[in-house]
């Protein structure tokens, strides 16, 4: 291999140029014309060293347009020596006697030089699986530079000045690439994909909720795009598989009008406010979501009994968190009696949660998917909603307090490391379908209470549809 340097020049980076490239099926080898696709500016050739040459897209004499390089897609293992387990081989062919026409100084005639070739990857194939054929060592090697829809790999060649077509860069060896098909149709995972919420308040700015798919990573296994996600109405998230995943699916969410603030009184209509004791200010309308002085958001559920539901945590919430006993909203003190549906859903920043003493309801999916949650204190909760403690993979221990009357369906489902479940049976009346499905198969379930309470609770826990398994162990304590 001759050193890739222009004769008698000051060294500088080699030239790079992009050009159209056409893909054909292997029928073209037997006289067919099975054109698949032309990728506009889909290929790039970047020369090593300081070689100053660019790919030419017209013939030298009559300026006829051409595709400098074509790819033949070959799926027959018998014609090429590509490896088992691979589904496709790309075979580059130059347009001038297997060479690529270039704009270059005639001084390069006879110079051998390497380059980096970038090729588009056909739809449905996995760029990360790509391997190129190293002719010098007669072996396939992994492509280390790739994107979701292209691969870049080293090639060898040399320059030649022909009488008819001028300068060209000819292949030195095989420029083959082998690829595997993308294996998984990502649309089959739509039912597992979740958003933090299904409704968002209009802000005037694009809303882009994160998509979570168990065991998959964004920008590694899939990418997301958003549409109609600024104005009030239905917005759409499109999830598209990349690399080993193909196809796509959509998820919709709603953007709703923000609650209207109370109209301020005109100066001439203002009246002196009555002096009220601390905690007895004007508060807020029922059903409205309000940010309290602690930075958390609450939904006012009753002004008669001064109750709110914890709806969303402050933005900087992480680590150990406590749902407070009370919240101050517009000068009024409310009791926090509920954790709203999905309040902490898929939150990966919290490690423990302690409910306030006034919380009676843990809402549907309230803590679902909190993958780093290791402890939860349910205090005086009476109702555990559907899926409220599901998919908490690091949660190993839960104590159901004696105040609890009902446990919803899927309540602890898929919290696969939950190995210790203590049930204070004093008031327990029901446990929903699949409530303990896929917790640890050798979980120890300790039931506390009187003999009558223990017997009743055991029937509730071990009934056919709760997810209880015979490998689990029931213990009873007073």
**pLDDT < 70 positions in the chain:** 1-13, 26-33, 59-65, 75-80, 260-282
Mark whether 55 and 78 lie in a shared domain.
yes
Question: 3-state SS string over the chain?
Answer: CCCCCCCCCCCCCCCEEEEEEEEEEHHHHHCCCCEEEEEEEEEEEEECCCCCCEECCECCCCCCECCCEEEEEECCCCCCCCCCCCCEEEEEEECECCEEEEECCHHHCCCEEEEEEEEECCCCEEEEEEEEEECCCCEEEECCEEECCEEEEEEEEEEEEECCCEEEEEECCCCCEEEEECCEEHHHHHHHCECCCCEEECCCCCCCCCCECCCCCECCCEEEEEECCCCCEEEEEEEEECCCEECEEEEEEEEECCCCCCCCCCHHHCCCCCCCCCCECCCCCCCCEEECCCCCEEEEEECCCCEEEEEECCCCCCEEEECCCEEEECCEEEEEEEECCCCCCCCCCEEEEECCCCCCEECCCCCCCCCCCCEEECCCCCEECCCCCCCCCCCCEEEECCCCCEECCCCCCCCCCCCEEEEECCCCCEECCCCCCCCCCCCEEEEECCHHHHHHHHHHHHCCCCCCCCCCEEEEEC
pLDDT at 104: 93
Of 361, 406, 405, 413, the C-alpha closest to 387 is 413
Choosing from 163, 181, 199, the residue where a domain stops is 181
The number of folded domains in the chain is: 3
pLDDT at 32: 53
Mark whether 65 and 109 lie in a shared domain.
yes
Mark whether 67 and 175 lie in a shared domain.
yes
- The string of pLDDT tens digits covering residues 211-256 is 999 889 999 999 999 999 999 999 999 999 999 999 999 999 999 9
pLDDT at 270: 47
Choosing from 181, 197, 217, the residue where a domain stops is 181
Whether residue 251 lies inside any domain: the answer is yes
Whether residue 399 lies inside any domain: the answer is yes
Whether residue 153 lies inside any domain: the answer is yes
Whether residue 358 lies inside any domain: the answer is yes
Mark whether 156 and 33 lie in a shared domain.
yes
pLDDT at 63: 57
CATH number at residue 384: 3.80.10.10
Give the range of the structural domain holding residue 360, as residue numbers without chain letter: 282-477
pLDDT at 286: 85
Choosing from 181, 202, 226, the residue where a domain stops is 181
Token digits of residue 436: 């303990």
- Give the position of tokens 């958390």: 296
Mark whether 304 and 215 lie in a shared domain.
no
Whether residue 261 lies inside any domain: the answer is no
pLDDT at 4: 61
CATH number at residue 249: 2.60.40
What pTM, to 2 d.p., does this model score?
A: 0.51
Whether residue 9 lies inside any domain: the answer is no
pLDDT at 172: 79
Mark whether 190 and 177 lie in a shared domain.
no
Mark whether 69 and 215 lie in a shared domain.
no
Region of 371 (left: φ > 0; alpha: ψ -120 to 50; beta: rest) is: alpha
pLDDT at 415: 95
Mark whether 177 and 191 lie in a shared domain.
no
- The string of pLDDT tens digits covering residues 156-169 is 999 999 888 889 99
- The string of pLDDT tens digits covering residues 61-119 is 555 567 787 787 776 655 667 788 888 888 888 877 778 899 999 999 999 999 999 99
- Using CA of residue 371, residue 372, residue 378, residue 381, what is the dihedral sign? negative
Whether residue 272 lies inside any domain: the answer is no
Mark whether 177 and 189 lie in a shared domain.
no
Mark whether 154 and 294 lie in a shared domain.
no
Mark whether 82 and 204 lie in a shared domain.
no
Whether residue 2 lies inside any domain: the answer is no
Q: How far apart are CA 80 and CA 208, in angstroms?
A: 47
Mark whether 36 and 170 lie in a shared domain.
yes
């Amino acid at each position: 291999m001759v050193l890739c340097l222009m004769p008698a020049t000051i060294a500088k980076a080699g030239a790079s140029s992009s050009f159209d490239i056409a893909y054909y099926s292997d029928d073209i080898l037997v006289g067919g014309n099975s054109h698949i696709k032309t990728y506009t500016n889909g290929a790039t050739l970047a020369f090593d060293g300081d070689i100053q040459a660019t790919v030419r897209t017209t013939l030298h004499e009559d300026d006829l347009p051409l595709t400098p390089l074509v790819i033949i897609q070959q799926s027959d293992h018998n014609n090429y020596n590509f490896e088992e387990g691979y589904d496709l081989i790309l075979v580059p062919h130059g347009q001038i006697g297997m060479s690529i026409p270039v704009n270059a100084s005639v001084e390069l005639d006879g110079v051998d030089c390497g380059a980096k070739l970038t090729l588009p990857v056909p739809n449905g194939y996995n760029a990360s699986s790509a391997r190129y054929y190293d002719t010098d060592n007669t072996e396939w090697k992994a492509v280390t530079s790739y994107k979701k829809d292209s691969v870049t790999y080293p090639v060898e060649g040399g320059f030649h000045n022909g009488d008819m077509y001028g300068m060209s860069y000819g292949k030195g060896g095989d420029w083959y690439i082998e690829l595997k098909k993308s294996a998984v149709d990502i649309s089959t995972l739509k039912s597992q994909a979740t958003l933090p919420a299904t409704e968002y308040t209009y802000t005037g700015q694009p809303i882009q909720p994160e998509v979570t798919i168990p065991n998959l990573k964004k920008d590694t296994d899939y990418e997301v795009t958003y549409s109609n996600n600024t104005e009030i109405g239905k917005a759409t998230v499109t999830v598209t598989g990349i690399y080993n995943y193909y196809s796509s699916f959509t998820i919709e969410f709603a953007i709703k009008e923000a609650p209207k603030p109370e109209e301020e009184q005109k100066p001439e209509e203002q009246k002196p406010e009555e002096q009220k004791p601390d905690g007895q200010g004007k508060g807020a309308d029922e059903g409205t979501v309000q940010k309290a002085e602690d930075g958390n958001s609450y939904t006012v559920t009753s002004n008669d009994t001064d109750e709110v539901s914890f709806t969303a945590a402050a933005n900087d919430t992480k680590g150990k968190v406590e749902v407070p006993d009370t919240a101050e909203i517009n000068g009024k003190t409310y009791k926090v009696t509920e954790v709203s549906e999905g309040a902490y859903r898929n939150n990966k920043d919290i490690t423990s949660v302690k409910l306030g003493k006034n919380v009676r309801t843990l809402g549907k999916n309230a803590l679902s998917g909190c993958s780093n949650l290791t402890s939860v204190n349910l205090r005086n909760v009476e109702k555990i909603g559907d899926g409220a403690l599901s998919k908490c993979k690091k949660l190993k221990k839960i104590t159901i307090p004696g105040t609890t009357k009902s446990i919803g369906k899927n309540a602890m489902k898929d919290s696969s490391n939950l190995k210790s479940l203590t049930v204070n049976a004093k008031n327990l009346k029901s446990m929903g379908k699949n409530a303990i499905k896929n917790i640890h198969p050798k979980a120890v379930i300790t039931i506390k209470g009187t003999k009558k309470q223990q017997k009743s609770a055991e029937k509730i826990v071990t009934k056919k549809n709760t997810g209880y398994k015979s490998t689990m162990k029931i213990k009873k304590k007073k």
